[in-house]
Chains A and B, each alone.
Chain A
Amino acid sequence: MTIRLKKNPVDIIFSSITAIASVSVLLLILGILYVLILESYPSIEKFGFLRFITSTDWNPVKGSFGAATNLFGTAITTVLSILIAVPVAIGIAIFVTEIAPNFLKGPIGAAIELLAAIPSIIYGMWGLFTLAPIMANYIEPALQKSIGSLPLVGVLFEGTPMGIDLLTASVILSIMIIPFTASISRDAFNLTPAVIKESAYALGATKREVVKDIVIPYSKVGVFGGVVLSLGRALGETMAVAFVLGNNHQITKSLFDAAATITVTLANEFTEADTDIYLSSLFYLALLLFVMSFIILALAKFFILKTEKGIKQ
């Protein structure tokens, strides 16, 4: 039967079209990687790898470039946004899968997915015009008064609260990634076999105990995959943070200082990069981001696959 199918020209065309479609995506990725390497080559040659990622000097006038400040900003905003987003997202997922009455599950799920559908530029504008003043006038002074006086962490909250800083950027990022973490966690929770949950309830376990002892242990690898996926998302997010981070190339102690991430620098400086080495260094930054995102996404996929397999077995 398979032999007869292969003889049919329409089927051959059909299968080759699907194959071309899939292969073209692969080629596209390789093509992008190739262009990034090609364009960043002058900068790679001039600054090398170690020197580029450890130098904090970003000076377009003198043609001296280093990525350390950008990597610092990217790492801080990403980690901080994950710290804020994950507890909220897991709370949402638990509520939606285990606790919410059925008539609420639909609307809440839809609302979370809508949050994911908001274009990031809108978060950026909202961040600049609404969130930044709120942070500067209320939240940051309050933080300064409360935790700011503690010995070790106090240094994180020094300086004049301006609302254009690492903290505001992280808060916006966290709002953006909540839907991803929440919906992947929800899917992971839903994979918990109903039989086991029901047995637990039959033994007299409360909802809290079922979540704590059955649902979370069953799905923790999947949830972790969701977290890593959101990490990748936070890493590459541009427009939402471009407005509220200030693009200052500095490594700061305080969360109330402006900083720069890789994406923010690219968005801010790409159009007016007027020398070749400047442009090449921006491409170099993009290459670093590409590789980092790739590794993180691969990790996320690995964890998510692992849960699904584990549960099937």
Chain B
Amino acid sequence: MFKPKFLCILTGLAISLLSFGSSFAADTKLNGAGASFPYPVYSAWAYDYNKVSGAQLNYQSIGSGGGIRQIVNRTVDFGASDAPLKPEELEKDSLLQFPAVIGGVVLVVNIPGIKAGELKLDSNVLCNIYLGEINYWDDEKIKRLNPGKALPHKEITVVHRSDGSGTTAIFTDYLSAVSSDWKEKVGAGTSVKWPAGIGGKGNEGVANYVKRVGYSIGYVEFAYAKENNLSHTLLKNSAGNFIKPSFESFKEAAGSADFDPKKGFYLWLNNAPGKKAWPIAGATFILLAKEKKESNINVVKFYDWAFKKGDETAERLIYVPLPVSLKNKIRAYWKSHNIY
């Protein structure tokens, strides 16, 4: 008596499983995975794009490492990574790469009596603070950069990320670029062996500690500093000017940097040469599988639309859109690979 019912359920299950496989073939669905940093802007773009084109873009923020692995295994239509892959890595896995949006890393401090934008730092001092070699806020080296400012004789609490992240990759790449000492002792990567300080999980963790712990310094994405009203510092760039982190100084960094399409735009934006360029920034990248022409054309369509119509959304979410010159370079790159 129960048997027919049971068989019905079984066949039903089998049919639904089979049809699940075939319904996936619809070509207006795009699957992407990777970096968590650009997730808010990609999903906002996807939402707007869906309204104009009907195409569905599904982006999973599983982290840059996961994004790279997924596209290398060809399980997604595009991968996303905060760190660019080197040209030889692109070659090895036959991938295409282009930047999509820019993010900056800013330094935030919590020193009672010092307001946002008042403290000046340079690469040397920053490096020594993170190496644990400058321990007090009234250190001679900090005083020299901030003449006439009353700095307290208090111990510096260094805050860094406890989790692996693209933000850390950008920040440590900057420190490695400006200091051979750092390069040798620590190096650059999504997570490193920190010589000093305490770790907070995520930007929110670092922001929370800096807010709570007096006389601390931390690094966070620009958006977090802005939204949490943390006091940022000025930082000396490679042209020798003290720069305030802002949309303008990030754009200047992106505009003055030399992205090379031949290298798959491989570039860290750190120490961009522009006079008013903020020195610690990075683009976040999209990775495509070379041979999947059809889905690539759809992904490129989406990013082309985003480059045209998405700047406002990006800025609202405190991301820095790419400069026009770079967007045109990317379009030429697409064209040269016959996907645009």
Contacts and interface: CB of A to CB of B under 8 A. Distances in A.
Given A246-B200, A268-B163, A272-B63, 10 more contacts: A59-B192, A62-B193, A129-B208, A162-B157, A245-B162, A258-B198, A268-B162, A270-B63, A270-B65, A274-B189
A218 interface: no
A77 to B, nearest CB: 15
Contacts of A166: none
B194 A128 contact: no
Contacts of B66: 271
Q: Chain A interface: which size bin?
A: 35 or more
A269 B2 contact: no
B282 interface: no
B170 to A, nearest CB: 12
A60 interface: yes
A164 interface: yes
A273 B199 contact: no
Contact of B201 (A61, A162, A242): A242
B58 interface: no
A258 B162 CA distance: 10
A274 B193 contact: no
B199 A271 contact: no
Contacts of A141: none
A272 B186 CA distance: 18
Given A160-B155, A243-B201, A272 B162 contact: no
A60 B2 contact: no
A249 B197 CA distance: 12
Given A268-B162, A273-B65, A243 B187 contact: no
Nearest to B162: A247
Interface of A: 9-10, 13, 57-62, 128-129, 132-133, 136, 160, 162-164, 242-243, 245-249, 258, 264, 267-274, 279
B164 A272 contact: yes
Interface string B145-178: 0000000000101000011111000000000000
B199 A247 contact: yes
Interface residues of B, number: 36
B266 to A, nearest CB: 15
Nearest to A269: B164
A61 B193 contact: yes
Given A160-B155, A272-B164, A274-B64, A59 B199 contact: no
Interface in B197-215: 198-201, 205, 208-209, 212-213
Given A162-B198, A258-B198, A269 B188 contact: no
Contacts of B209: 162, 164
Nearest to A63: B189
B198 A133 contact: no
B267 interface: no
B162 A248 contact: yes
A177 B212 CA distance: 28
Nearest to A274: B65
16 contacts: A10-B2, A13-B6, A60-B189, A61-B188, A61-B192, A133-B212, A160-B157, A242-B201, A245-B162, A246-B199, A247-B199, A248-B194, A268-B162, A268-B163, A273-B164, A274-B68
A279 B72 CA distance: 15
Contact of B186 (A61, A129, A162, A249): A61
B330 to A, nearest CB: 24
Nearest to A64: B193
Interface string B215-252: 00000000000000000000000000000000000000
A47 to B, nearest CB: 16
A164 B165 contact: no
Contacts of A248: 162, 194, 198-199
B83 interface: yes
Q: 10 closest A-B pairs (Cβ-Cβ)? A: A271-B63, A272-B164, A61-B187, A247-B162, A268-B163, A272-B190, A246-B199, A59-B193, A61-B189, A269-B164
Which of B186, B200, B201 is packed against the most chain A CB atoms within 10 Å? Answer: B201
Given A162-B198, A258-B199, A247 B163 contact: yes
Nearest to B85: A274
B64 A62 contact: no
Contacts of A62: 187, 193
A13 B2 CA distance: 11
Which of B6, B157, B199 is packed against the most chain A CB atoms within 10 Å? Answer: B199
Contacts of B198: 162, 164, 246, 248, 258
B134 interface: no
Contact of B163 (A10, A61, A269): A269
